[in-house]
């Protein structure tokens, strides 16, 4: 495996070394497939979209600023592709991964749920439904931070928003998610 940084590989590709792009594909293919599963349920559709992402990245590599992080740049392309796919094909059910309750809800609340005897599968199904009701700008911020484990700065670059807005969106998203969850559980209980 090539030991060069992503940015060094991107510079080589910009200089005409197409082979170096293969190393970037190897590094990012599984990550982008995983990221795609947060938006789209069909594995086949995700693979097609990831190929499209790599084609766009290769075609537009000259626009990449090698002083910045390559990961932010390619995730921005991926983000746009996945969001566009959802818009174009409403037949795609939007799936969101299962978040850890402790990440979003205070410990006593999570304990209350356990005390109620709700099983984990039901809770996760409910949480997926709650995420589906969140505005996409809040949902994507949660996905990037908690599931893709990105820092605020990287999320800001991907979403083209100020770093302070990332923090605000995360706070609001957690509050909204809790409110949606409490409303839904009240209706089911």
pLDDT at 111 over 50: no
> What does the pLDDT average to over 34-49?
81
Q: What is the pLDDT of residue 180?
A: 83
Examine residue 147 and state whether it is found in any structural domain, yes or no.
Answer: yes
Q: What is the pLDDT of residue 84?
A: 80
Both 12 and 74 in one domain: the answer is yes
Both 69 and 117 in one domain: the answer is no
Cβ neighbours for 62, distance < 8 A, ≥ 6 positions apart: 14
Both 83 and 117 in one domain: the answer is no
Examine residue 132 and state whether it is found in any structural domain, yes or no.
Answer: yes
> What does the pLDDT average to over 39-67?
88
pTM: 0.57
Domain boundary among 23, 57, 88: 88
Percent of the chain scored above 70 by pLDDT? 75
> What does the pLDDT average to over 148-177?
89
Contact status, residue 85 vs residue 45, Cβ threshold 8 Å: yes
Examine residue 18 and state whether it is found in any structural domain, yes or no.
Answer: yes
> What does the pLDDT average to over 107-115?
43
Contact status, residue 110 vs residue 101, Cβ threshold 8 Å: yes
Q: What is the pLDDT of residue 50?
A: 94
Give the whole-angstrom CA distance, residue 125 versus residue 18: 44
Each residue's pLDDT tens digit, 79-106: 888 878 876 764 333 333 334 333 444 3
- Domain around 117: 101-188
Q: What is the pLDDT of residue 131?
A: 75
Percent of the chain scored above 90 by pLDDT? 35
Contact status, residue 144 vs residue 150, Cβ threshold 8 Å: yes
Cβ neighbours for 179, distance < 8 A, ≥ 6 positions apart: none
Examine residue 1 and state whether it is found in any structural domain, yes or no.
Answer: no
pLDDT at 57 over 90: yes
Both 66 and 114 in one domain: the answer is no
pLDDT at 10 over 90: yes
Token pair, residue 170, equals 């995360």
Neighbours of 63 (CB within 10 A): 9
Examine residue 95 and state whether it is found in any structural domain, yes or no.
Answer: no
Examine residue 96 and state whether it is found in any structural domain, yes or no.
Answer: no
- Higher per-residue pLDDT: 5 or 40: 5
Q: How confident is the model at residue 186 (pLDDT cuts 50, 70, 90)?
A: confident
- What is the longest distance spanned by two Cα atoms in the chain? 62
User: Which three-class secondary structure state does DSSP give residue 95?
Assistant: coil
- Higher per-residue pLDDT: 154 or 136: 154
- Of the chain, the end-to-end C-alpha distance in Å amounts to 54
Assign residue 181 the CATH number of its domain. Answer: 1.10.10.10
- Higher per-residue pLDDT: 122 or 6: 6
Cβ neighbours for 110, distance < 8 A, ≥ 6 positions apart: 101, 102
User: Structurally, how many domains does the chain consist of?
Assistant: 2
Contact status, residue 70 vs residue 96, Cβ threshold 8 Å: no
Examine residue 128 and state whether it is found in any structural domain, yes or no.
Answer: yes
**Host H or E run for residue 111:** helix 107-116
pLDDT at 183 over 90: no
Both 71 and 22 in one domain: the answer is yes
38: phi then psi, degrees, rounded to nearest 5: -75, -20
């Amino acid at each position: 495996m090539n030991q060069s940084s992503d940015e060094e590989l991107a510079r080589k590709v910009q200089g005409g070394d197409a082979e170096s792009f293969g190393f970037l594909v190897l590094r990012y293919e599984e990550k982008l497939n995983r990221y795609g599963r947060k938006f789209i349920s069909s594995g086949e559709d995700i693979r097609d979209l990831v190929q499209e992402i790599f084609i766009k990245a290769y075609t537009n590599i000259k626009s990449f600023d090698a002083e910045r992080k390559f990961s932010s740049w390619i995730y921005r392309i991926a983000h746009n592709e996945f969001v566009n796919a959802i818009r174009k094909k409403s037949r795609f059910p939007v799936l969101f991964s299962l978040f850890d309750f402790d990440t979003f809800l205070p410990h006593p609340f999570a304990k209350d749920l356990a005390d109620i005897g709700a099983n984990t599968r039901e809770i996760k199904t409910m949480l997926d439904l709650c995420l589906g009701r969140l505005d996409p700008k809040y949902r994507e911020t949660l996905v990037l931070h908690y599931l893709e484990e990105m820092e605020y700065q990287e999320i800001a670059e991907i979403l083209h928003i100020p770093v302070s807005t990332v923090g605000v969106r995360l706070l609001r998203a957690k509050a909204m998610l809790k409110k949606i969850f409490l409303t839904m559980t009240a209706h089911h209980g």
